[in-house]
Amino acid sequence: MTIEIRPADNTLADWQAIHDGAAARLATAAMGLIERSAGLVDRIVAEGKPVYGVNTGFGKLSHRRIAEGDLARLQENLVLSHTVGTGEPLADQIVRLAMALKLAALARGASGVRPDIAALLEAMLDRDVIPIVPGQGSVGASGDLAPLAHIAAVLIGRGRARRGDRVLPGAEALAAAGLAPVTLGPKEGLALLNGTQVTTAIGLSGLFGIRRLFATALVTAALSVEAALGSTVPFDARIQALKPHPGQAAVAAVLRGLIGDSDIRALHRREGRLQDPYCLRCLPQVMGACRDVIGFAAGMLEIEAGAVSDNPLLLDDGDVVSGGNFHAEAVGFAADMLANATAEIGGMAERRIAMLIDHGQSGLPPFLTAAGGLTSGFMSLQITAAALVAENRQKSHPAVVDSVPTVGNQEDFVSMATHGARRVLEMLRNAEAIVAIELLAAVEGLDHRAPLKAGPRLEAVRALVRSRVPSMAQDWEFSTAMRAAEELVRSGAVARAADLDPFN
């Protein structure tokens, strides 16, 4: 599968395909736009008028004029001096996506790079030359300077890159792929370093994972409703119509469809509670709000993905304007929203785990084992879930409110969006483990309702789980069950088994 990168015309589905391994190529029409903007830079250099980033210093040194003979060295110095990232490298799929997003920005023809630069970036993607990019060191303003510098360094034969299963110096990685480094011209280093592409790629990676998590959490919630003989009255469409948030109505409809009119519904009508705890009763309100927040964040990220976020910008009318499109506040807010939604999805799932193992609330054997005392059942699994909930709550503090001024107070209000997006990935892993524990607990609970069965879509999920994880009614090495359940959650297999895509 190959995704064509078109100026301001790609969708979230396109970016997810590239994130998940699809090839990417630049639309032919984009090269004309790129060439036009490069011609504007040539004209500026020829005329000798001072333009920020073309023939001046950067940041607080922008008042320093640079001689024409030093312009190439200026751009190379900019790249090399900003390769100061630290921490664990970003995943290759995130770096690939960031490179594709940078191509999309250049394709708009407002950045002033030559077609050769875009062609090399495209070729690196095509031939699997993936720069090693440390994950820390960007404050999400004036662009992702440090992480993008680590990408740009490979284009000039410096830095390090992965080629297949080997990490090589940049020049060697390019040579192994039959490519040669470029010499940067005026404005090109700045165009490559300015931009929000790394932060946006991290944010998109989190978004894609959270949408899978959300779908799975709806399935595990429906399983828990059935296992606990919960009521489906709170999912009545008439209730949602009186508080018409789109997500609330959508979640209620999903739950009605998943549960259906099962054998367990008949038992509930005879023996079920009049009112359930909020972790069941308020599923449409809580998960519906999460769905709406995820959707809003997705819209912000989709706009940012197709945006031009470097500086200065070369406009169609020939003007060169300096602004602040490099500021990643929008991505920071999107990441904070996703963090809060992730914390809530995991937090509510943990409450359902606690409810299932509490005989007084669920009517199931304590800790889901009939041999309590000799066996501990799900006791420690709930403890793990509680620990992960606490971690996610701590990580959900908003990042965008934590601005720290940089560059001698020239860049005095920054977004902190990069680590805001990165921490979402950490929270996602935690929430996936929590939902995996609920998956195991709910299926175990359903086993205790035998011979009654849930609806066909939920029974398909139960069969999937039992094909990987045997009954946990007796104690055994539950870490094996955890790993299997986490893989089912992370891969999206649970939602697929239930035939569920709650965003379409």
Kindly report the number of other CB atoms within 10 A of residue 177's CB atom: 18
Is 52 part of the annotated catalytic residue set? Answer: yes
Closest by Cα among 498, 501, 496 to 458: 498
Q: Are 165 and 173 in contact (CB under 8 A)?
A: no
End-to-end CA distance of the chain: 22
The structure tokens 């020939």 sit at: 318
Q: What is the CA radius of gyration of the chain?
A: 26
DSSP state of 347: H
Closest by Cα among 429, 252, 277 to 351: 277
Q: Are 388 and 399 in contact (CB under 8 A)?
A: no
Type of residue at 460: A
In 358-455, which ranges are continuous DSSP H helix?
Answer: 359-362, 379-395, 417-447
Q: Which of 5, 15, 33, 52 is the catalytic position?
A: 52
* Cα gap 180→171, rounded to integer Å: 7
Longest Cα separation, the chain: 87
Ranges assigned E (strand) in 311-404: 313-314, 320-321
Ranges assigned E (strand) in 252-344: 313-314, 320-321
Ranges assigned E (strand) in 121-255: 129-131, 134-136, 160-163, 166-169
* Cα gap 199→205, rounded to integer Å: 10
Closest by Cα among 31, 363, 372, 336 to 207: 336
Closest by Cα among 107, 185, 174, 98 to 134: 98
* Cα gap 489→87, rounded to integer Å: 28
* Cα gap 344→277, rounded to integer Å: 16
**CA distances (Å), 393 to each of 217, 336, 401, in order?**
18, 12, 16
In the chain, helix, strand, coil percent, each to 5? 60, 5, 35
* Cα gap 405→74, rounded to integer Å: 25
What backbone torsions phi and psi does residue 83 show, to the nearest 5 degrees?
-80, 65
Residues composing the chain: 504
Extract the tokens encoding 116: 């050769």
Q: What is the dihedral of CA 383, 388, 389, 390, to 10 degrees?
A: 90
List active site positions: 52
